[in-house]
Amino acid sequence: MSPHSTRKPDFSAYPRPSVAVDVALLTVHEGQLRVLLLPREEPDLGGAWALPGGFVRLDEDPDDAARRVLAAKAGLEGVFLEQLYTFGSPERDPRGHVISITYYALVDHRRFARLSPAVRHVVATLEVPWEGEAGGPVIARDPEGRVLSLAFDHAAILGMVVKRLRGKLDYAALGFQLLPRRFTLRELQTVHEVVLGRELNKDSFRRRMLASGLIEPTGELERDVLHRPAELYRISRQSAV
């Protein structure tokens, strides 16, 4: 169990769990949190849906493995990606002991996984059955509103993602990651409201955001709206994550 003093211990001599990464790719669109799910065809898993994932290769950094999965299964590069938690219960995968290092990725809905229709996948909406940061599993629905069965502990993982987002939203530059490079304060507020699951005070939200120094005005205005156009903002230089 404990490393010892032979010069090059052959770690592979010990039976060991496998290590995977799973990535929750999220976006906000039409007032809803959305996540990419892929089908699992294995008979043991009963046709359930799962987060994109894959095994961590020997001598591969788990962060790189997560980026590789995102590129291979969602066609995305250069998106915001952060480690969430590591799940390792021996019972979480019926096929064997797989420890999953989980990540969440945030992206503007316009860049969200543009997968060929030939690749089976679903952009599920998330329903959060708890308030604030209480925590717990969430429910995924397909675009027609049908509840989707999630493989492994992925409902719990997604619940923890939402909990983490709610906790970090206020003090970290997270909300911007779900928007295009230029956005209005109203769009940013809507993103915050969707993630937090509650309405926010407009005046106070504006003041907090402007005072935070995380964003700066561009001087440009939005176009083609049926009302007074709002100014476009961007992430300010020093707050680049």
Partner DNA sequence: AAAATAGTGTCTATGAGACACTATAGT
Partner DNA sequence: ACTATAGTGTCTCATAGACACTATTTT
Question: What's the rounded Cα separation, in Å, for the pair 166 and 188?
Answer: 14
3-state secondary structure of 102: strand
Residue 205 sits in the site that holds DNA (CB under 7 A): yes
Instruction: Identify which of residues 96 and 219 has a Cβ nearer to a second copy in the complex.
Output: 96
Residue 228 sits in the site that holds DNA (CB under 7 A): yes
Strands (E) in the chain, as ranges, are 18-29, 32-39, 49-50, 53-55, 80-87, 98-106, 122-127, 139-141, 215-221, 231-235
Q: Which entry of DNA, a second copy, none binds 46, CB below 5 to 8 A by partner kind?
A: none
Least Å from the CB of residue 61 to a second copy: 5
Instruction: Identify which of residues 35 and 185 has a Cβ nearer to DNA in the complex.
Output: 185
Instruction: Identify which of residues 13 and 211 has a Cβ nearer to DNA in the complex.
Output: 211
Q: Which entry of DNA, a second copy, none binds 227, CB below 5 to 8 A by partner kind?
A: DNA
- Supply the angle between the helices 154-168 and 185-196 in degrees, to the nearest 10: 130
Instruction: Identify which of residues 100 and 190 has a Cβ nearer to DNA in the complex.
Output: 190
Question: What's the gap between Cα 215 and its chain centre?
Answer: 22
Tokens coding 94: 């019926």
Residue 211 sits in the site that holds DNA (CB under 7 A): yes
Among 19, 74, 123, 188, binds a second copy (CB under 8 A): 19
Residue 7 sits in the site that holds a second copy (CB under 8 A): yes
Among 39, 48, 80, 97, binds a second copy (CB under 8 A): 97
Let me know: does 177 contact 104? Beta carbons within 8 Å: no
3-state secondary structure of 156: helix
User: Which residues bind to DNA, rule: CB under 7 A?
Assistant: 184-186, 200-201, 203-208, 211, 221, 223-231
